[in-house]
Structure 1
């Protein structure tokens, strides 16, 4: 990708490689301390961020670690919400075990997310981010939660560019022999696919990083975010196959054919108050792929920028806190 993007400009290649070396050598600062676990279901656990107010269970994607919602002491949606009359809770999916190779995305909902909801009690709000929002929609169909928030949640996969959908199905077929042998799809395979969504931007961000001072606050934030983006447990074979073939290629969710726990998941029929947040500049989850339910907030901050970017607090954190702190509506 680097060669193809910089073939006509060797200076850009040199700058990008300089930035990559600087990223690799950058000093790593400690991540925020892990919060206590208050419930478990198999390998999954729930971390409690404290706070006085109604409990809100945040469901992250199975892709990348959950700590994008708690990226740094001074850039943590969850720690901030705990000061705003909300009790944030976070699902940590853990790492797949060898006997889980066939566990699908829906299987994660059935065997982990639903038991966690049951353990936390009936007065729970669900808030799902990215694929976690897709999973939260399934859980809210199967359990009577109080309210539901979906943030950058893909549902209508037919709204993705056809080239991207077919590229992901091709990626599955190329990686299937390795995935069959390992029982999991390594995170590195998916990360390479994300890079290719916008290869020019991928190269440009490393060019820019190479020009920053090592102790610059923005440089430290870049390293922390890139470490998150390049990290993560592998997907079980069953979850990877369902994601790439049943969802991206076949759009079973958007066409009303996705079943979890023996039930077809139809978000239009959900009875609880719902808040949907999407970004019009999101390349990973296009706004058009959102489920189209409940109240809607449209942003223009990108997929990750809406959570941790410089404008995230005003654009997403604060409206979300206001919605969560409102009296229960029917």
Structure 2
């Protein structure tokens, strides 16, 4: 990919490689300890970020670690919400074991998410990011829920349009090895993300190489890239269902996804719903977003809408306002 993007400019290739080396060698702060778990199901945990009031369960994607919602000091949606009178709880999916190879996306909802939600003493609000929003909608159709908000979540996978072709090609090349391993390694998934916007992938390392390593911008870049390049593998069955049933066959968008024997329909949920949608998102195009009672659009990208410099105005505060407006009796 680097060769293709910089074929006409050896200088750009050298700059990108220099930025990559600087990123690899950058100093990292000590990781913060995990928040305490108040519920568990299998390898998954529900972590408590404090605050008060009705539980608001944040469901992250199965891809990449959940810490994008608690990225760093001064840039944590969850810790900020806890100071606004909200009680955020974060789903930590844990690390799959060989015994999990048969656990598909549906099973993550049925066997891990729903038992933790049912352990709570009152109906929660669910807030799902990326694929976590897809799972949150499925859970809301199976358990009493006070509200559902999705952030850059795919539902109508047909909305990916031509972007499904490179995704299908990637899976055709990787699935046999993944089946043998029993997991889909993060490297396979990350390669797919890179191919969605290869020019940006290269240019961001060029820009990073020009930053002062001690600057706040450089530290923020390292924290975000460490998150984007990290994460546990997917169980093979989850990867197969994601690529074959969701991306290729649009299982959810065509009304054929069933959880606990019931078809999942976001338009039929018996609770208020809100969808945050990015108009510039290459990872989850706006055309793939689920239906909702309210829809808020912004031009911030897939990750920028959560942790970017304008995220507080575009997402954090509107989400907090919506949470406080929800009926107290649900």
TM-score, normalised to structure 2's length?
0.98
Q: Does 1:250 find its partner at 2:283?
A: no
Query: Does the Cα contact within 8 Å between 1:148 and 1:275 map onto a contact in 2?
Result: yes
Q: 1:321, CA displacement in angstroms?
A: 0.4
In structure 2, the residue matched to 1:195 is 194
CA–CA distance in structure 1, aligned partners of residues 262 and 52 of structure 2: 35
Give 5+ residue unaligned stretches, structure 1. Answer: none
- Cα distance, 1:264 vs. partner? 1.1
What is residue 62 of structure 2 aligned with on the other side?
Answer: 62
- Aligned match of 1:312: 311
**Counterpart secondary structure, 2:45:** strand
Given that 1:38 and 1:48 are in contact with CA atoms closer than 8 Å, whether structure 2 keeps it comes out as: yes
SS at match of 1:160: helix
1:215-238, Cα deviation, whole Å (9 max, x unpaired): 011000000100000000001111
Structure 1 CA distance, aligned partners of 2:147 and 2:204? 38
* Equivalence for 1:260: 259
1:217 is aligned to 2:196 = no
DSSP-derived class of the 1:328 partner: coil
Map Cα deviations across residues 234-288 of structure 1 (whole Å, 9 max, x no partner): 0111110111110011101111011122111111111101111111011100111
| SS of structure 1 residue aligned to 2:126 | strand
SS of the residue 1:322 aligns to: helix
The aligned residue for residue 9 of structure 2 is 9
Counterpart in 2 of 1:83?
83
Say whether residues 1:103 and 2:97 are aligned partners.
Answer: no
Contact residue 172 and residue 244 of structure 1 kept, 8 A: yes
1:39 alignment partner, SS class: strand
- Counterpart in 2 of 1:179? 178
Counterpart Cα distance in 1 of 2:23 and 2:308: 19
Contact 2:70 2:78 in 1 (8 A): yes
Cα shift at 1:327 = 4.3
Q: Residue in 2 aligned with 1:285?
A: 284
1-side partners of 2:183 and 2:326: how far apart? 43
Tell me how far apart the structure 2 counterparts of residues 37 and 256 of structure 1 sit (CA, whole Å).
Answer: 34
> Aligned with 1:120: secondary structure?
coil
Is contact 1:32-1:71 (8 Å) kept?
no
Q: How many residues align?
A: 329
Aligned residue in 1 for 2:205? 206
Unaligned stretches of 5+ residues in structure 2: none
The equivalent residue for 1:49 is 49
C-alpha displacement of 1:140? 0.4
Structure 1 runs (4+) greater than 2 angstroms displaced: 30-33
Relative to structure 1, the CA distance from residue 327 to residue 192 in structure 2 (aligned partners, 3 Å threshold; closer, same or farther) is closer
- Per the normalisation by structure 1, the TM-score is 0.98
Q: Distance in 2 between matches of 1:304 and 1:32?
A: 21
- 1:276–1:296 CA contact under 8 A, matched in 2: yes
